[in-house]
Structure 1
Amino acid sequence: MNLPLKTALSALLLAAGAPALAQAPAPAPAPALVQADPALWVVKDEDTTIYLFGSVHVLKPGIMWFDDEVKAAFDKADTLVLEMVQPDQNEMMSKLTKIAIDPDGPPLSEKLEAAPRAAYVAAMTDNGLPWQALESFEPWMAGITLAVAPLGKLGYVEDAGVEKVLTKAAQAAGKPIVGLETADEQLGYFDTLPEAQQIAFLNATVAELPKMETEFGKLVDNWAKGETETLGEQMNASMEATPELARILLFNRNANWAKWIKARLDTPGTVFVAVGAGHLAGPKDVQDQLKALRVETARVKAADLGL
């Protein structure tokens, strides 16, 4: 079963807690400013408005996305809704110890065949990560660790990511922040993957690490330009070829969130929902799931917000 790097990158974008687990410190030169225009959708009825925004959990400083339609919609909102309200680092590490460790299985490296094992050890070493430290962990944890490890060196930081920026803005404005899922639930999506898929995920991440800069750069570029069809194709093609992974990480969650959005329409007010960009692009995305529930979504234009 082939799980190319696009799957690892999709997983990164889907799990809000993942980047904080292993992100290396980034260099701090003065960033060049880049104007972005990511997509924004709206769902509304007579007394409720729900904005839907696709997030990227780590970005390079200097990408100017929190303005124009996105900022205007956020300012109108009474509540910010994220995939997860992220616990502090100590709490997250405690949860990982509980969820990601395999107390009964053999060491992680022994679960890999000879050639993939050598490649995995080399990849960990090249990224300054002690492979021995993950011997008691399940393969998915090593896969995510390696998927995010190079991003800090490439200049991507969590503090510039969408969730961090929106959370700080909501706190400053006194807006309540709600999570669609808990940290335990998000980590559980990876933890419940069959071990064979976890190993395939890890092996493919290792094999395609040299493409990380190019592939992740394309994802961010498509997001920044609001090119959702291209983004959906890039992120979801490999996941469609692995139905179990797609079902757990994408489609089931999209369906659950669509039901939440429909139910939220019964409560008056304005809500700004930010979830991983992969959930709002491609087949069976949140918009498709809402359509199946007979709830219409519309792409927001500047004029819709009086801009």
Structure 2
Amino acid sequence: MKTNKVYILFILLALLLGACSDDTITFNDENLENAVLDELRINEELTESGVETVTSLDLSGENIDSLSGIEALYNLEVLDVSNNNIEDVSVLLELNSLEEVTIAANPVIEDREQSELLDELSEQGTVVIESQQLGDPDGPGGFLWQVENEETTVYLLGTIHAGTRDFYPLHESIETAYYEADVVVPEIDLNDLNMYEMQQIQQELGMYEEGETIEDHVSNEMYEQLDETISDLGMSIEMVESYKPWLLSSLIQSLRLQQLGYLHGVDEYFLNQAAIDGKEVEALETFESQFEVLASPSEEYQMTMLEQSLVSLDQFDEEITTMFELYKAGDADDLIGYLFDEDATVTEEEEAYMEELNDNRNYNMAEQIDEYLTTNDGKTYFVIVGAAHLIIEPHIVSILEEEGYSVNHIH
């Protein structure tokens, strides 16, 4: 009897351990793991019990090489892994609930053996989408122009440097323009930044000398408000107290965008896609040149910028949501009207700052675009710059028109 009791105890213990076990799901591909965690909006390890309700995943354009580990998401019904570097789809056969998978724009499509596996998947009842629709006929986004010179074409896309994953794909005209491009031309190449150099530039242009802090330059009231804002964003004031006002303002806005889920900017979206597709990338500007512009105002004007950034999260969310919707609608006049109050008094310093931030940069970028066109190498260029550079005078479109080019508004 004792033996039986011990035996039963072991059975019950085994069942208990089995019921309580919550094995961590592991992925061989770090990009796959990060994409899954990002899509599910969790910041911790993924466990078997945590995937029971996961039935759909969009992992397109995440630079994924291997799908190993995806089979653990056993209730997955719809999966999009298009625009990656996937060469093996065998693990998909283990997903018994899978109803649809989009595998377009992956090396696996060209492999005969893998194509047979996809056929097998289809025979099991899974809809396999191997070709890709370029964008959405009703997709968001506007601000797309085209200019040509003989055999050379330049597309100009006005972007917004923040976005949510469900914002993509963009309108079909925009996605098609990217697809046709040989060269992607952003303001700066976010995938080719030297972190050490960035830190050096940030320290030089954005931080006080040792022993000096922001507390020395603001009122007690503003310092308390700044401390509260930084704390709400998950940091301590001590971590950023050496930052100058312009850098603090930029940091606060960036962290708030992340807090609200605006992690996927349009430029980042296309640069990641360019990396997957092996397209050439040539930046119009450098990280240093952009920092020099941001750091150029007087301390007094920087304080104004900092004060404006210390709004409540709700107010910031409302402003960003409105701006985002206007961008999605593609209405330049409405967006300009929202960004600029016609009745507001503009100081000389504000005007000078806008000249540095917009006008001078537009002339410099237009000059480089003109060089693409006059060189006439027969390539197609996909230029992606902030929408303001294409709609606020003097903008790139009007500058090119002054040079004699015919610039057509596509969408």
Is this contact kept in 1: 2:158–2:389, CA < 8 A?
A: yes
Call closer, same or farther: CA 1:207–1:174 in 2, change over 3 Å.
closer
Is this contact kept in 1: 2:143–2:387, CA < 8 A?
A: no
Equivalent AA in structure 2 for residue 80 of structure 1 = V
Residue aligning to 1:144: 250
What percent of counterpart residues are identical? 23
Equivalent AA in structure 1 for residue 299 of structure 2 = E
SS of the residue corresponding to residue 393 of structure 2 reads coil
Residue from 148, 152, 168 that aligns with 2:272 = 168
Q: What is the 5 A alignment of 1:206-225?
A: 206-207=310-311, 209-225=313-329
SS of the residue corresponding to residue 282 of structure 2 reads strand
Call closer, same or farther: CA 1:168–1:127 in 2, change over 3 Å.
closer
Counterparts of 2:261 and 2:316, CA distance in 1: 13
Counterparts of 1:169 and 1:276, CA distance in 2: 18
User: Unmatched 5+ residue regions in structure 1?
Assistant: 1-24, 302-307
SS of the residue corresponding to residue 375 of structure 2 reads coil
Residue aligning to 1:109: 215
Counterparts of 1:104 and 1:243, CA distance in 2: 32
Counterparts of 2:307 and 2:327, CA distance in 1: 27
User: Is 2:392 the partner of 1:282?
Assistant: yes
Higher helix share: 1
Residue deviations 1:68-116, cap 9 Å, x none?
1111111111100000012154553343233322216831122112322
Call closer, same or farther: CA 1:293–1:263 in 2, change over 3 Å.
same
Counterparts of 1:265 and 1:281, CA distance in 2: 21
Residue aligning to 1:123: 229
Q: What is the 5 A alignment of 1:1-307?
A: 28=41, 35-86=139-190, 87-89=193-195, 91-103=197-209, 106-157=212-263, 160-207=264-311, 209-237=313-341, 241=346, 242-268=350-376, 269-301=379-411
Is this contact kept in 1: 2:359–2:394, CA < 8 A?
A: yes
Counterparts of 2:40 and 2:278, CA distance in 1: 32
Poorly superposed stretches of 4+, deviation over 6 Å: 29-34
Counterparts of 2:40 and 2:253, CA distance in 1: 19
Counterparts of 2:39 and 2:195, CA distance in 1: 18
Equivalent AA in structure 2 for residue 297 of structure 1 = V
Counterparts of 1:100 and 1:108, CA distance in 2: 11
Call closer, same or farther: CA 1:247–1:31 in 2, change over 3 Å.
farther
Call closer, same or farther: CA 1:209–1:196 in 2, change over 3 Å.
farther
- Give the superposition deviation at 1:207: 3.6
SS of the residue corresponding to residue 385 of structure 2 reads strand
Scaled by the length of structure 2, the TM-score of the pair is 0.61
Equivalent AA in structure 2 for residue 28 of structure 1 = R
Equivalenced residue count is: 275
Call closer, same or farther: CA 1:294–1:170 in 2, change over 3 Å.
same
- Structure having greater relative contact order (Cα 8 Å, sep ≥ 6): 1
Residue deviations 1:21-70, cap 9 Å, x none?
xxxx8972879999313221111122221100011222111112445111
RMSD between aligned alpha carbons? Answer: 2.7
Is this contact kept in 1: 2:208–2:243, CA < 8 A?
A: yes
Is this contact kept in 1: 2:140–2:167, CA < 8 A?
A: yes
